[in-house]
Amino acid sequence: MTNCIDNSKDSVKNRIQNRMKSFIKNCKNSIKSSLKVCMDQIKTYMISCMNYIKKSIKICIKNSIKNSKVLFQENILKFCEGANVVIFLLNKIPKVRNKVNTKLFAKEKIKERNKFGVFALICAFILEFLKKLVYAIIFVYIPYKLLGKVVVNVLNNQEISIIYFFIIMTTLCGSITNNTMFSMSDRDYIMLRVMLVKSNIHYFGRILYKMITELVYFTIILMILGVNFKYSIAVSLFTMAMRPLGEFISLLIHDNAAKVHAMRGSINGVIMAGAFIAAYVLPYVNRAISNTWYRVSNPYFLIGILLICVATMWFLWTYKNYEQVAQDAVYIRREDKL
């Protein structure tokens, strides 16, 4: 009887153990299969995400290139003109003309002609940089040297003196008086009246190009004049941010004070005279230049001025009366030519 009971217990125990083992084995297999399915799904999802990101980046790059072509149509025209001018000049050189094929002017030779355009563009950048360097030497470095002969504090503090003269003459005076909106060169006339480029695109592209190039040029120029990189980039950012603000002020005067706008030549003269006094006379009277001008590199100041820059750029982008501004500029150009 006891043996029978023991046998039955053992059989029940074995059955339970076997069932538990099979259950655990089935659970492990199901977990493995579930994990494999999950990992496959995650892998598929990651691949689809990466493909989506790649497509989005490609679309963004294409749209950026397309928008940049629209904004910088004037510069594209300069590029094409530069390529043609270089080819034309090379054909005038006796020993070189045989190596330069006149068929480069044909439409199917665009890739070969682009090499000459790149060369012309580099030369244009160098020339533009040299013009700004000469300006900085005349209005910043030479006054620093001349004023330093009579004011020792100015001579002994070259960095702050260069920063002071540059901010007064270029950042403040230049941003107010040297506007792009109401100037009309022959190229502007061609873009607006011959190629029929939209006036808002043309003007906004000019301002944006001016801001980008001056940020690079002025940073290098200030470093050449003895200002360290930290203050050079800070002053250049300040100057860049002030450019659209100057355009914004000019448009406000144009829209709301026509009489004042008509006198802008005289007003610019007064502003320039005030800038000359502030830059060159006040340091002589005070016998020093304050170190507070170093605060131009303060992060909070730069963030604030860049926010103002973004706000004014948004205003310039959404401005509705560019066509009227273009018409006024064309009219003034015709009057000047007569």
Query: pLDDT grade, residue 51 (50/70/90)?
Result: confident
Query: pLDDT grade, residue 60 (50/70/90)?
Result: very low
pLDDT at 287: 86
pLDDT at 236: 94
pLDDT at 49: 67
pLDDT at 215: 92
Contact 237, 215 (CB under 8 A): yes
**% of the chain at pLDDT higher than 70:** 67
Assign residue 196 a region (left: φ > 0; alpha: ψ between -120 and 50; beta: otherwise): left
Taking the CA atoms of 132, 134, 137 and 138 in sequence, report the sign of the dihedral they define: negative
**% of the chain at pLDDT higher than 90:** 21
Say yes or no to pLDDT of 19 above 70: no
> What value does the mean pLDDT of the chain take?
77
| pLDDT greater at residue 264 or residue 273 | 273
Fill in the amino acid letter for 86. Answer: V
Structure tokens at 115: 């090499």
Highest mean pLDDT among 28-32, 70-74, 248-252: 248-252
The overall longest dimension of the chain from CA atoms, in Å, is 134
Angle CA 44–48–50, to nearest 5: 115
Say yes or no to pLDDT of 299 above 60: yes
Say yes or no to pLDDT of 18 above 80: no
pLDDT at 16: 60
pLDDT at 160: 92
| pLDDT greater at residue 317 or residue 84 | 317
Look up tokens 């029978």; give the residue: 4
pLDDT at 319: 81
Per residue in 101-160, pLDDT (tens digit) is 655 555 556 666 777 778 888 888 899 999 999 999 999 999 999 988 888 888 888 999
Look up tokens 């873009």; give the residue: 191
pTM over the 0.85 mark: no
pLDDT at 234: 94
Query: Can you give the chain as a three-state secondary structure string?
Result: CHHHHHHHHHHHHHHHHHHHHHHHHHHHHHHHHHHHHHHHHHHHHHHHHHHHHHHHHHHHHHHHHHHHHHHCHHHHHHHHHHHHHHHHHHCCCCCCHHHCCHHHHCHHHHHHHHHHHHHHHHHHHHHHHHHHHHHHHHHHHHHHHHHHCCCHHHHHCHHHHHHHHHHHHHHHHHHHHCCCCCCCCHHHHHHHHHCCCCHHHHHHHHHHHHHHHHHHHHHHHHHHCCCCHHHHHHHHHHHHHHHHHHHHHHHHHHHHCHHHHHCHHHHHHHHHHHHHHHHHHHHHHHCCCCHHHHHHHCHHHHHHHHHHHHHHHHHHHHCCCHHHHHHHHHHHHHHHHC
**Separation CA 318–CA 123 (nearest Å):** 34
| pLDDT greater at residue 170 or residue 253 | 170
For residues 70-96, average pLDDT: 71
Per residue in 177-204, pLDDT (tens digit) is 887 777 766 676 667 666 667 777 778 8
